[in-house]
Amino acid sequence: MRAVVQRVDYSSVKVDGGEIVGEINRGGLLVLLGIGEEDSPDDLEYMVDKILGLRIFEDDLGKMNLSLKDIDGEILVVSQFTLYGDVRRGKRPSFTNSAKPELGEKYYEEFIAKCREEGIKTETGVFGAHMNVEIANNGPVTILIDSKKNILGGILLKIITVPAGIYAANCYIVYSENTKKGIVIDPGGDVDDIMKKIEELDLDIEYIVLTHGHGDHIGEY
């Protein structure tokens, strides 16, 4: 999930140049929100928490130290699938990594609902429509957020432990629930138990990592 977040004094959105369908005018955030084909509820929760908690509003000392909640600000959310435009090959953007409309609209609406659940006045555009967005960017301040580029390097990781071998040494399976890709660390013995767990989780193991060469950390496969 990707977002362009702008600190604004005012912002509004019209559909096809007609009447305004969403508007904020007492200060807050304009969020251009793009949904990716591999996004999950984890990405949604990450984005809601990150955006509503962004400390990009100035305190009494003129420092960026306050969040949207702190200033009782408003938010305007506009769908923006073009955030997934890929121009690495050629000059015409490809949008194959953007979510299909059904999934995109689902997460877009859920993002809006979660903002409202937090007590934020939330205005919106119209999903999938041609829109004209007016922005009075304060600063200017613009932040780019990608849920796949979080603190764990772009993957929300899980770790499980499988006691392996006659010494029950810890074998670790580290994986992403989103991509189902993972690594195995120190797979010492009991290959059947380790493989059973990998199959249960339906994982695609890309690497096997040995932290050291002790016999209890090395198995035959």
Structural domains present in the chain: 2-149 (3.50.80.10), 157-217 (no CATH)
Residue found by looking up tokens 């009075």 in the block? 136
What's the one-letter identity of residue 211?
T
What is the pLDDT at residue 152? Answer: 47
Residue type, 107: Y
Is 142 considered catalytic here? no
28-to-86, 100, 126, 169 alpha-carbon distances in Å? 30, 29, 19, 53
Q: Which is catalytic among the residues 6, 57, 80, 124?
A: 80
- pLDDT of 146-181, one tens digit each? 988 764 444 567 888 888 776 677 888 998 877 788
82 is catalytic: yes
pLDDT band at 205 (very low <50, low <70, confident <90, very high): very high
Q: Which of 6, 57, 81, 122 is catalytic?
A: 81
Of the candidates 4, 1, 21, 24, the one whose C-alpha atom is nearest the C-alpha of residue 13 is 21
Residue 6 annotated as catalytic: no
pTM: 0.69
Please provide the distance, in angstroms rounded to a whole number, between the alpha carbons at the two ends of the chain.
38
Could you tell me the two tokens for 179?
A: 């991509």
Q: Confidence band (pLDDT; 50, 70, 90) for 216?
A: low
- pLDDT tens figures, 108-118: 999 999 999 99
CB burial of residue 99 (10 Å; 0-12, 13-18, 19+): buried
